[in-house]
Structures are given as structure tokens and as C-alpha cells.
Amino acid sequence: MTEKVAVITGSAGGLGKGIAERLANDGFDIVLHDINQDLLNETEKEFTDNGFKVTSFVGDVSKREDQFALVKHAVDTFGRLDVFVNNAGVEAVTPLMDIDEKELSKLFSINAFGMLFGTQAAAAQFIKQGGGGKIISASSIAGHESYPMLGTYSATKHVVRSFTQTASKELAKYKINVNAYAPGVAKTKMWDRIDAEMVKQDPSLKPGDAFAQYTADISLGRYEVPTDVANLVSFLASPDSDYITGQTILVDGGMVYR
């Protein structure tokens, strides 16, 4: 592969880090991004020690100017941009009747607005370069089917699907592919938090019960690991996916069937 550059938001840990590792092994120069400076520094050092070409950028995806500054940093460092992964996201576990303005503002700002701003920043650079490029965003099984206690999170992930479709239609003339990945239940810190909050909301549950209940529905019989998602993103970032756009692809081991 000729030298290419990939930005992955929210990549200091979790699924984002797994995606960044896979793309680095695929030969991409990597721009790590996170709002957590300390964790980001640790991950950048790890990548450097592994011989990857990497830089990092601290930013808040909910701020449009930060997303454009992230793309500028990538171009200033490596000279171009080829793939932008809108991975950063947050969750909330709340009964429908208790959802308030604060929760809505936080989750929509990060999960939905952040995805849009990242898409805008990446597309502007792709167009400036003469067209072509891949934008890949994090939706979820909750972007295909809404779940109890995860109403706000599910709504934001449906928004990601919608913006993915709109962007794919508007940007196709520039040969920019826009797709999304929809993970299922992974053993990550996010799911640890979801499990803990489910226990708070239902005293009959013990720690680990909610995670066990959700993973019991997986047809392939195991929970997701970062490489499962990274494998799909690797494909979407490659020339093999050049004829795919506007899709939100489930990678959940068999939970949601559409």
C-alpha cells in the first residue's frame, strides 16, 4: 500500500485503540485522538515503541473547531488525509421518564454532532486534495434497534446512521465513501459502565448480570473483542470497499438481523 494517513477519534483506548492498531498494521500513518491527555500519551508511546508512524491530538469532538484543527494537525504532520474514523462516543443508562436536558445535550453533542463535525472536517480536506477518501463512523446495534434504558444512546446512534446516508449521497460526486460500523456487546470499559448502571436501576441484578444477559443473545456464542470491529473498519478503509457507501454494517456476532 502506498503511504496513507488515518485519523481515529477516541482512540486512546477501547475499540478506537483496536481500530488504530489494525490500521497501523495495515500500513497507515496514524493520528491518535482523545480528550484524555494522559491516556493518549501512553497509547502514543506504545504505538511508537511498536514502530508505527504516529502522532496524537487532544481534542473535544463536540467542538467543530477542534475537529477541523484535528484534520489540520494530520495534514501538517503527514501531508495528507485518507481515512477519518468517527469513533469517539459516550453512553448513558437512564429510564425513559428520567431522561433530562443535560443527558440529551451531552450525548447528542458527542455522538451525533461530533460525528457530523468530523465528517465535515474530513470531507473538506478530501475535496481540497482533489477528491477521494473514506469516512467511517461508529454507530451501534442500538442504531438499528433501540433498547430499554439506553434511549438517548440509541437515538444518537440512529442519528449516525442518518448522517451517514446523507453524507454518502452528497459526497459521492467527490468519490468520498461514507459508511458506519455497528458493534454489538464488547467487553470494554463502556460496557462495564453500562452493566454497573443497569445494576443501580434494577436491584435484582448483580454485577455482570446485564452483560451476561445481553451476550447470551449472541448467535456466535461469545462477546465482541476490539479486533472484530477493527477487521471491518480495515475493510472499509481499503480499496476493496470502494463500491460500498451509505451503509451501517452490523458487526455483532449475530444479535440484530436486518
Strands in 248-251's sheet, in edge-to-edge order, are 54-58, 28-34, 4-8, 83-86, 133-138, 176-183, 248-251
User: For the chain, what is the largest distance between any 2 Cα atoms, rounded to a whole number of angstroms?
Assistant: 58
DSSP code for 222: S
Closest CA to 122 of 151, 85, 169: 85
CA–CA dist 241, 100 (Å, integer): 40
Strands annotated E in 59-155? 83-86, 133-138
Closest CA to 140 of 244, 220, 258: 258
With a CB cutoff of 8 Å and minimum separation 6, the contacts of 224 are: 183, 184, 185, 186, 187, 251, 252, 253
Active site residues: 153, 157
133-138 vs 176-183, strand pairing mode: parallel
